[in-house]
Amino acid sequence: MNRRKKQSKKETTRERVALITGITGQDGSYLAEFLLQKGYRVFGLMRRSSSFNTARINHLYQDPHDPDPRLQLVYGDLNDASSLNKILRSIRPDEIYNLGAQSHVRVSFDVPEYTAEITGVGTLRLLEAIRDSGIHPKFYQASSSEMFGKVQAIPQNETTPFYPRSPYGVAKVYSYWITVNYRESYNMFACNGILFNHESPRRGETFVSRKITKGAARIKLGIQQELFLGNLESRRDWGFAGDYVEAMWLMLQQEEPEDFVIATGKHYSITDLLDIAFEEVSLNWKDYVRIDSRYYRPAEVDLLVGDSGKARKKLGWEPRISFNDLIRMMVKADLEEEIQKNHGTQGLLGDKPFGGKWVPAYSGAELESVSPFSR
């Protein structure tokens, strides 16, 4: 075997190390699972919290006393450059996935400066830490369809101009361009994944999809009487988070760094989402949903729908779970969760729709079977 061949064999068999910021979030948890299954050693950057915030990754947790833990959590913050520098120097990752962010659009109007610090300048801190540490990892930036905001074309693709409509969207545009700038200035392998909305049973409970699926489950079980929402007219291109983390990884396996739109190409309104969720529990949402103006945004994004033709062609990526199946999966998971949480509270469920004799129609195992990781 000549030297070049030997080298490339060594490269392909070498253990790969990934760092994920935002590992405790929805995408971080799916990505950690995905990379562990691919044989990576995974480090997750996590910020200190006074209460536990690792619920989404507890099933992956390994005791740090284990002689060879595949997943390790390290304290750090996108607001703290010194922590980023230290972490990069010590773990020397091959791939970095920057998923950490203040990711709630409505909240970004309440905390615009903090959102700019973390969701915007946080990316710059990480890119600078890469330069300072002298390592050459591949870098993934979690860019967002929210950057298209007041859309300039339908559907949106990699060449559509940005027109952000929130402090969150503006911060993401900064991160997008600083990633491009570091790619061009310093020859970094840095990619933007422009991801459209993606959801799952692990979605944060204040995003509209999860708020609705959880609300439908709780109303069905008699735990909640009403569901307060904002604008029901906006339309989004919703996919499954498990499908989308695969696209992140595929972007970093390409020969050249490029930016990709990841989307399903279909769009639905909030009322479509309500129809599916409440149909799953055999109720009519119009009997339970109330409008509360506090959930409206100062500036709204009316329609997002992506054209992921480039990703389909170059990455061979495509979404596997339909909107209908996604929302049903989320309602089933929320029913399970609420039943487990309220187990033993006979008074609560006793005189409610199922007369306290609720037998879950869907076991955890069945829910798992729709996960791409068990297929």
Which residues are annotated as catalytic?
144, 146, 168
Q: Of 179, 183, 46, 73, nearest to 125 (Cα)?
A: 179
Restricting to residues 110-129, name those near ligand NAP by CB under 6 A: 118
Token pair, residue 120, equals 């915007």
> What minimum distance in Å lies between the beta carbon of 189 and ligand GDD?
23
State which of residues 231, 269, 322, 324 lies at the interface with ligand GDD (CB under 6 A): 231
Residue 96, φ and ψ in degrees, nearest 5: -125, 130
Beta-bridged to residue 72, according to DSSP, are 43
Contact between 233 and 270 under an 8 Å Cβ cutoff? The reply is yes
* Other CB atoms within 10 Å distance of the CB of residue 117: 16
Residue 208 binds which one of ligand GDD, ligand NAP, none, with CB within 5 to 8 A depending on kind?
Answer: ligand GDD
Residue 133 binds which one of ligand GDD, ligand NAP, none, with CB within 5 to 8 A depending on kind?
Answer: none
The CA distance from 300 to 277, in Å, is 23
326 binds ligand GDD (CB under 6 A): no
Restricting to residues 175-214, name those near ligand NAP by CB under 6 A: 195, 197-198, 204
> Which of residues 85 and 143 has its CB atom nearest to ligand GDD in the complex?
143
What are the residue ranges of helices labelled H in 161-265? 167-186, 208-220, 241-252
The torsion angle over the Cα atoms of residues 102, 204, 208 and 334, rounded to 10 degrees, is 180
Contact between 234 and 302 under an 8 Å Cβ cutoff? The reply is yes
> What minimum distance in Å lies between the beta carbon of 9 and ligand NAP?
35
State which of residues 19, 26, 33, 278 lies at the interface with ligand NAP (CB under 6 A): 26
77 binds ligand NAP (CB under 6 A): yes
> What minimum distance in Å lies between the beta carbon of 14 and ligand NAP?
28
Binding residues for ligand GDD, rule: CB under 6 A, are 103, 105-106, 144-146, 196-197, 206-209, 211, 229-231, 234, 236, 270, 295, 297, 300, 304
